[in-house]
């Protein structure tokens, strides 16, 4: 008995109308669509026979020809499945589900719901912090290795900071002080066919040894 037969066999009503209304939870078994349409296969653990579906479309917040948001669920992820007009032959994945076994990367422990976050399988993150009360309004991008881009809109602290994983190589644009600083623990190199340095006020060059060629 295949997946369709199993679902349609659940009641006489669905047998006659061949309709399954509502939604169902499923587990992703395959996400490598041979046609490249972004589809997945799922199974339904709550069925007596965990039959695998055919390829199922995945809903996205935006989709079009070679554009849109690509967030395919991983194999073994729990997903929510709906059926077009109740037709068991036309399922599609409308979302993903967290559980006790697979908790979210942010828990909203303080109940203020200030954090929005995208976290990849490897641990790359994009974090949106809306904590205006705590003056922590900012956007952060973190790589798994620790590289970071910070866009800080916190009152009195407005700045943009790019920092590598060592924390010793830093580019900082300070909107409060109207200043730009570049720091490195070893060396900074600037190279171009033409370079112009101009100051409307004082130009200061300092070094243990200054060489001008």
Whole-number pLDDT of residue 74: 97
Rounded to an integer, the average pLDDT of 62-83 is 96
pLDDT tens for 75-111 read: 999 999 999 999 888 899 999 999 999 999 999 999 9
Q: Has residue 14 got a pLDDT over 50? A: no
Residue 57's nearest CA partner among 94, 5, 18 is 94
Whole-number pLDDT of residue 185: 93
Whole-number pLDDT of residue 6: 55
Q: In whole angstroms, what separates CA 6 from the centre of its chain?
A: 35
Rounded to an integer, the average pLDDT of 182-211 is 93
Whole-number pLDDT of residue 134: 80
Q: Has residue 11 got a pLDDT over 80? A: no
Whole-number pLDDT of residue 15: 46
Q: Has residue 200 got a pLDDT over 90? A: yes
pLDDT tens for 160-182 read: 999 999 999 999 999 999 999 99
Rounded to an integer, the average pLDDT of 201-208 is 92
- DSSP assignment of the chain, as one string? --HHHHHHTT-HHHHHH-B--SEEEEEEEE---TTSS--BEEE-TTSSS-PBP--BEE--SSEETTEE---PPPTT-EEEEEEGGGBTTSEEEEEEE--SSS--S---TTS---EEEEE-SS--EEEEE--TTTT--EEEEE-TTS-EEEEE--TT--EEEEE-TTS-SEEEEETTTTEEEEE-SS------S------SS------SS----
* Cβ atoms within 10 Å, residue 20: 22
Q: Has residue 147 got a pLDDT over 60? A: yes
pLDDT tens for 43-55 read: 988 776 668 899 9
State both tokens at 117: 């976050």
Q: Has residue 2 got a pLDDT over 50? A: yes
The percent of residues in the chain predicted with pLDDT above 90, rounded, is 78
Rounded to an integer, the average pLDDT of 180-195 is 95
Rounded to an integer, the average pLDDT of 24-32 is 96
Whole-number pLDDT of residue 20: 78
Whole-number pLDDT of residue 179: 96
């Amino acid at each position: 008995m295949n997946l369709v037969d199993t679902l349609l066999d659940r009641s006489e009503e669905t047998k006659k109308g061949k309709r399954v209304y509502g939604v169902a939870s499923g587990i992703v078994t395959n996400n490598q669509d041979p046609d490249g349409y972004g589809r997945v296969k799922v199974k339904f653990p709550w069925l007596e026979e965990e039959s695998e579906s055919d390829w199922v479309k995945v809903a996205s917040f935006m989709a079009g020809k070679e554009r849109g948001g690509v967030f395919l669920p991983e194999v073994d992820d729990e997903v929510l499945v709906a059926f077009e007009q109740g037709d068991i032959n036309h399922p599609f994945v409308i979302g993903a589900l967290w559980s006790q076994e697979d908790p979210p990367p942010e828990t909203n422990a303080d109940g203020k719901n200030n954090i929005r976050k995208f976290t990849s399988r490897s641990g790359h993150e994009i974090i949106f912090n809306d904590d205006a009360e705590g003056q922590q309004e900012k956007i952060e991008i973190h790589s798994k290795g620790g590289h970071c881009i910070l866009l800080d809109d916190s009152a009195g602290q407005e700045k943009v900071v790019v920092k590598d994983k060592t924390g010793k190589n830093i580019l900082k644009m300070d909107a409060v002080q109207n200043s730009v600083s570049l720091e490195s623990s070893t060396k900074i190199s600037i190279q171009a066919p033409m370079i112009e340095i101009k100051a409307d006020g004082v130009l200061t060059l300092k070094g243990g040894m200054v060489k001008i060629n």
